[in-house]
Chain A
Amino acid sequence: MIELTALKALLMNHQIIPVKFAGNRMLLDAGGVLIWPQQDLLIFSDLHLEKGSFLTQFANPLPRFDSKDTLKRMQLIMARYDCGHIVCLGDSLHDGNALARMQPDDLVSLNALVKSVPKWTWVLGNHDPDIPPEILGERAPFLHIQNLLLVHEPEDINAKNEKSSLKPLLSKEASKIEGQIIGHYHPKSSHRLANRKVTGKSFVCGDDILLMPAFGKYTGGLDIKDGAFESLFNSKKVLVYLTYHHKIYLFMSKIKR
Chain B
Amino acid sequence: MIKEIHDLLITDTSAVVKRAFIPSVFKAWFADRHWKIRPYQQKMVSAFVNQQSTLLIAPTGAGKTLSGFLPSLIDIHKLLEKGKSNKAIGLHTLYISPLKALTYDINRNLEMPISEMALGITVASRTGDTTSYQRQKQRKLPPNILLTTPESLMLMLSYTDAARIFANLKCVIVDETHSFANSKRGDFTSLALARLYWLNPHFIRVGLSATVAHPDSLAAWLGVTGEPTDIILAKSRVKPRLKMLTNKEYIPFGGYMAKYAKKEILAAISKAGTSLVFVNTRAQAELIFQALWEENSEGLAIAIYHGSLSKEQRQKTEKMMAAGKLRAVVTTSALELGIDWGDVDLVIQVGAPKGVSRLMQRIGRSNHRMDEPSKAYLVPANRFESLECLAAIKAIKKGELDGEPPMPGALDIIPQFIMNCVCSEPSDMHSIYQQVLNASSYSGLDSDTFKQLFSFTQDGGYALQAYERYFRLVQDKGLYSPANKRVIMRHRQNIGTIVEAGRLKVKRLRRSHQGKIVGEVEEYFAQQLCKGDSFYFAGEILVFEGIRDMIVEARPGKAKEPKIPSFQGGQMPLSTYLADAVRKLINVPESWQELPKLVRDWLHLQQAFSALPSMEKLLIEQFPFRGAFTTLFYTFEGRKANQTLGMLITRRMENRGFKPLSFSITDYGLSISSVIQIEKGHITELFTPDILGDELEDWMLEASMLKRSFRQVAVISGLIEQQYHSNKKTMRQVTFSTDLIYDTLRQYDPDHILLKVTRDNAQRELLDIERTSALLFRYCDSFLFNALEKPSPMAIPIVLSVRSELITGAGTQALLEQASLYQEAELMLDDVRALLQGD
A residues lining the B interface (CB < 8 Å): 1, 4, 7-8, 11, 14, 17-18, 20, 25, 27, 37-38, 51, 53-66, 68-69, 101, 103, 190-191, 193-198, 217-220, 223, 242, 244-245, 247, 249-252
B161 contacts the other chain (CB 8 A): no
Among A217, A219, A250, the residue within 8 A (CB) of B820 is A250
Q: In the complex, are the beta carbons of A194 and B839 less than 8 A apart?
A: no
A194 to B459, CA, bound (A): 45
CA distance A251 to B486 in the complex (A): 45
B720 close to A63 (CB less than 8 A)? no
Residues of A within 8 A of B457 (CB): 61
With a CB–CB cut-off of 8 A, which chain A residues contact B821? 250-252
- A interface: dominant SS: mixed
Interface residues of B in 498-518 (CB under 8 A from A): none
Say yes or no for B449: interface residue by CB 8 A criterion: no
Q: Once the chains bind, are B470 and A61 in contact (CB under 8 Å)?
A: yes
User: Among the listed A7, A63, A103, A191, which residue makes an inter-chain contact with B836, where contact means beta carbons less than 8 Å apart?
Assistant: A7
**Any chain A CB within 8 A of the CB of B747?**
yes
Q: Are A59 and B472 in contact (CB under 8 A)?
A: yes
Nearest first, the 9 closest Cβ-Cβ pairs linking A and B are A61-B460, A220-B736, A249-B820, A65-B748, A59-B490, A65-B744, A59-B487, A250-B821, A193-B815
A61 to B836, CA, bound (A): 48
Given contact pairs A53-B470, A57-B470, A194-B661, a sample of 19 additional A-B residue pairs in the complex whose CB atoms are under 8 Å apart? A17-B825, A37-B838, A56-B460, A59-B484, A59-B487, A60-B721, A61-B459, A61-B718, A65-B744, A65-B745, A101-B467, A193-B812, A193-B816, A198-B816, A217-B740, A220-B736, A220-B740, A250-B820, A250-B825
Give every chain B residue within 8 A of A197 (Cβ-Cβ). 528
Looking at the assembled complex, report how far the CB atom of A128 sits from the nearest CB atom of chain B, in whole angstroms.
16
- A1, A51, A194 — which one has the most chain B CB atoms within 10 A of its CB? A194
* Partner among A11, A54, A194 whose Cβ is within 8 Å of the Cβ of B832: A11
B residues 458-494 near A (Cβ < 8 Å) are 459-462, 464-465, 467, 469-470, 472, 484, 486-487, 490
B594 part of interface (Cβ distance < 8 Å): no
* Distance of B485 from chain A, by nearest CB (Å): 10
Chain A residues near B720 (CB, 8 Å)? 60, 62
If the complex has contacts A7-B839, A38-B838, A56-B460, are A250 and B822 also in contact, measured as CB distance less than 8 A? yes
Smallest beta-carbon distance B111→chain A, Å: 41
The majority secondary structure among interface residues of chain B is helix
Jot down 24 A-B pairs with beta carbons below 8 A, ordered by A: A1-B839, A4-B836, A14-B817, A18-B835, A25-B835, A25-B838, A55-B734, A58-B734, A59-B472, A59-B487, A59-B490, A60-B721, A62-B719, A64-B465, A65-B745, A66-B740, A66-B744, A101-B467, A193-B812, A193-B816, A194-B661, A220-B740, A250-B820, A252-B821
- Chain B residues in 8 Å Cβ range of A7: 836, 839
* CA of A242 to CA of B815, assembled, Å: 13
Chain B, residues 802-815, CB within 8 Å of chain A (1/0): the string is 00101010001101
| Minimal Cβ-Cβ distance residue in B for A195 | B804
Q: Within the assembled complex, what's the spacing in Å between the Cα atoms of A7 and B836?
A: 8
Kindly state the separation between the CA atoms of A14 and B826 in the bound complex, as whole angstroms: 12
Question: Which of chain A's residues has its CB closest to B828's CB?
Answer: A18
Please give me the residue from chain A that is nearest to B815 by CB atom: A193
> Could you tell me the distance between the alpha carbons of A14 and B813 in the complex, rounded to whole angstroms?
10
CA distance A57 to B733 in the complex (A): 12
Determine whether the beta carbon of A4 is less than 8 Å from that of B804: no
Please, which residues of chain B bring their CB within 8 A of the CB of A1?
Answer: 839
CB–CB B835/A37 < 8 A: yes
Q: Does B10 contact A (CB under 8 A)?
A: no
Q: Is B305 an interface residue (CB 8 A)?
A: no
Q: Which residues of A contact B323 (CB under 8 A)?
A: none
- Residues of chain A contacted by B741 (CB below 8 angstroms): 62-63, 218
Q: Give min CB distance, A224 to chain B, whole Å.
A: 13
CA–CA, A42 and B419, complex, Å: 47
Residue contact B662 to A55, C-beta cutoff 8 Å: no
Cβ-based interface call for B588 (8 A): no
What separation, in Å, do the CA atoms of A4 and B836 have in the docked complex? Answer: 7
Encode contact with A along B695-737: 1 for CB under 8 Å, 0 otherwise.
0000000000000000000000011110000000010011111
The distance in angstroms between the C-alpha atoms of A56 and B733, with both chains bound, is: 12
Chain A hits for B835, CB < 8 A: 18, 25, 27, 37
- Identify which of A54, A65, A196, A219 gathers the most chain B CB atoms within 10 Å of its CB: A65
**In the complex, what residues of A have CB within 8 A of residue B464's CB?**
65
Complex Cα distance A62/B721, Å?
A: 11
Q: A37-B838, A56-B470, A61-B470 are in contact. Are A220 and B737 (CB under 8 A)?
A: yes
In the complex, A255 Cα to B460 Cα: how many Å? 42
B residues near A20, Cβ cutoff 8 Å: 828, 831
CA distance A223 to B718 in the complex (A): 28
Give the distance to chain A from B101, nearest Cβ to Cβ, in Å: 33
- Chain B residues contacting A38 (CB-CB under 8 Å) are 838
How near does chain B come to A7, taking the closest CB pair, in angstroms? 7
Asked if A68 meets B816 with Cβ closer than 8 Å, knowing A25-B831, A195-B804, the reply is no
Chain B residues whose C-beta falls within 8 Å of the C-beta of A53 in the assembled complex:
467, 470
B834: interface (CB < 8 Å) = yes
Give Cα distance in the complex from A20 to B749, angstroms: 41
Query: Which residues of A sit under 8 angstroms from B719, Cβ to Cβ?
Result: 60-62
Least CB separation from A250: chain B residue? B821
How many angstroms between the C-alpha atoms of A101 and B467 in the bound complex? Answer: 9
Q: A60-B720, A65-B744, A218-B740 are in contact. Are A191 and B819 (CB under 8 A)?
A: yes
B456 an interface residue at 8 Å Cβ cutoff?
yes
Contact between chains at A37 and B839 (CB < 8 Å) = yes
- Closest chain A residue to B457, Cβ basis: A61
Q: How far is the CB of A73 from chain B (nearest CB, A)?
A: 11
Chain B nearest Cβ from A10, distance in angstroms: 11
Contact partner of B736 among A103, A219, A223, A252, CB < 8 A? Answer: A219
Rounded to whole Å, the gap between the CB of B193 and the closest CB of chain A is: 27
* Contact partner, A62, options B460, B825, B834, Cβ 8 Å: B460
B744 contacts across to A, CB distance below 8 A: 63, 65-66, 69, 217
Q: How far is the CB of A249 from chain B (nearest CB, A)?
A: 4
Closest to B548 in A: A227
Chain A: minimal CB distance from B629 (Å): 14
| Complex-state Cα separation, A86 to B100, whole angstroms | 59
Q: Which residue of B lies closest to A100 (CB)?
A: B469
Interchain CA distance A53-B804 in the complex, whole Å:
37
With contacts A18-B831, A61-B719, A191-B819 taken as known, whether A245 is within 8 angstroms of B808 at the C-beta atoms is yes
B789 located at the interface, meaning its Cβ lies under 8 Å from any Cβ of chain A in the complex: no
For the complex, give the distance between the alpha carbons of A76 and B465 in Å: 24
Instruction: Specify the chain B residue showing the minimal Cβ separation from A3.
Output: B839
| CB closest chain-A residue, reference B752 | A63
Taking the complex as formed, is B561 at the interface, i.e. its CB lies under 8 A from any CB of chain A? no
B298 within 8 A of A: no
Contact A247 B813 (CB under 8 A): yes
- In the complex, what residues of B have CB within 8 A of residue A11's CB? 832
- Measured between C-beta atoms, what is the minimum distance from A163 to chain B in Å? 30
Q: Cβ of B734 and Cβ of A249 under 8 Å apart?
A: no
Residue of chain A at shortest CB distance from B728 = A58
Given contacts A196-B806, A218-B740, A219-B736, whether A64 and B462 have CB atoms under 8 Å apart is yes
User: Closest residue of chain A to B627, judged by CB?
Assistant: A194
Q: Is B824's CB within 8 Å of the partner chain A?
A: yes
Query: Considering the chains assembled together, what is the distance between the CA atoms of A65 and B465 in angstroms?
Result: 9
Please give, as numbers and ranges, the residues of chain A lying within 8 Å of B472 by CB-CB distance. Answer: 59, 61
- Residue of chain A at shortest CB distance from B486: A59
Which residue in A101, A217, A219, A247 is a CB contact (below 8 Å) of B816?
A: A247
Nearest chain B residue, comparing its CB with the CB of A239: B821
Inter-chain contacts of B459 with A (CB < 8 A): 61
By a CB distance below 8 angstroms, the chain A residues around B752 are 63
Name the A residues within 8 Å of B825 (CB-CB). 17, 250
Which partner residue on chain A sits nearest B748 by CB separation?
A: A65
**CB closest residue in chain A, given B465:** A64
Q: How far is the CB of B52 from chain A (nearest CB, A)?
A: 43
**Nearest-neighbor residue (CB-CB) of B813 within chain A:** A247
The CA of A18 and the CA of B839, in the complex, are separated in Å by 13
Q: How far is the CA of A7 from the CA of B837 in the complex (A)?
A: 11
Complex Cα–Cα for A217 and B747 (A): 12
